[in-house]
């Protein structure tokens, strides 16, 4: 079954430091992977998807099929990056997404 | 545009009561879905719809009913609420399919005593 693992429940880094939020997945076939973000008092929103290969708000994520990972990275963290981050991929058996448990990122000043 | 609108934002029910969570979208999206999020867990798909008159089960459909009579609305019904259904419920829509980027509502926080 498709599964998404985000091993860190909480990640705290200082402003200006690099950030890496980990996401590992299990999926049969070529998955499309997503990162969603929820800022305080805002709704869950798409941050980026691997197929677009974009950099959004300074974040990038590379799909590593060998390691089955899709880690989210940013070279220099900013305080406004503090939020909950969720990695997601298609369920497979139903038309929807399966989400990881999320990582709470806190950027300290 | 309001996007995806969920009502109510909060609700407390007693075990055995029934309730309908409302979801409406103004983006003319064919695909709509319901997820639940329990503490410390990721979102899990309850039911989804790929268009008016078409619904299907997700990962955790038991205890919930849905219908889709219009493109805009996708209500979620709890026929006989149970404490295990205490959760935050999110409605989402997409102009494509469920395995594509989703637009989410603000969520409904439901407590069942």
Over residues A18-74, the pLDDT tens digits come to 999 999 999 877 788 999 999 998 999 999 998 777 788 999 998 888 889 999 999
3-state SS, residue B35: strand
Summarised one tens digit per residue, pLDDT across range B8-47 is: 999 999 999 999 999 999 999 999 999 999 988 899 999 9
CA-angle at B90, arms to B89 and B96, nearest 5°: 150
Closest CA to B29 of B45, B44, B50: B50
Pick left, alpha or beta for residue B37 (phi over 0 → left; psi -120 to 50 → alpha; otherwise beta): beta
A101 neighbors A92 (Cβ within 8 angstroms): no
Residues of A in contact with B59 (CB under 8 A): 91, 93-94, 96, 98
pLDDT score recorded for residue B1: 62
3-state secondary structure of A80: helix
For the record, the structure tokens of A57 come out as 């708000």
Residues of B with CB under 8 A from a CB of A: 4, 31, 33, 35, 40-45, 48, 50, 56-59, 90, 97-102, 104-107
What is the pLDDT confidence band of residue B101, given thresholds at 50, 70 and 90?
confident
Yes or no: say if A98 and A89 are a contact pair by the CB < 8 Å rule: yes
């Amino acid at each position: 079954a498709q599964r998404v693992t985000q091993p860190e429940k909480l990640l705290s880094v200082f402003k200006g430091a690099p950030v890496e939020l980990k996401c590992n997945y299990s999926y049969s076939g070529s998955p499309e992977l997503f990162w969603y973000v929820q800022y305080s008092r805002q709704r869950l929103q798409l941050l980026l998807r691997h197929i677009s290969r974009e950099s959004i708000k300074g974040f990038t994520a590379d799909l590593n099929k060998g390691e089955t990972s899709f880690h989210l990275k940013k070279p220099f963290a900013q305080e406004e990056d503090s939020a909950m981050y969720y990695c997601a991929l298609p369920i497979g058996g139903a038309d929807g997404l399966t989400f990881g448990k999320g990582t709470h990122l806190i950027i300290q000043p | 545009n309001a996007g995806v609108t969920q009502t109510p934002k909060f609700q407390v029910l007693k075990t055995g009561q029934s309730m309908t969570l409302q979801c409406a979208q103004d983006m003319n999206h064919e695909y709509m879905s319901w997820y639940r999020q329990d503490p410390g867990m990721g979102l899990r798909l309850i039911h989804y719809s790929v268009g008016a008159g078409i619904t299907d089960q997700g990962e955790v459909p038991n205890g919930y009913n849905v219908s889709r009579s219009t493109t805009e609305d996708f209500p979620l019904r709890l026929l006989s609420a149970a404490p295990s259904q205490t959760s935050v419920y999110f409605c989402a829509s997409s102009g494509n399919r469920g395995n594509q980027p989703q637009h989410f509502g603000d969520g409904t926080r439901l407590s069942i005593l």
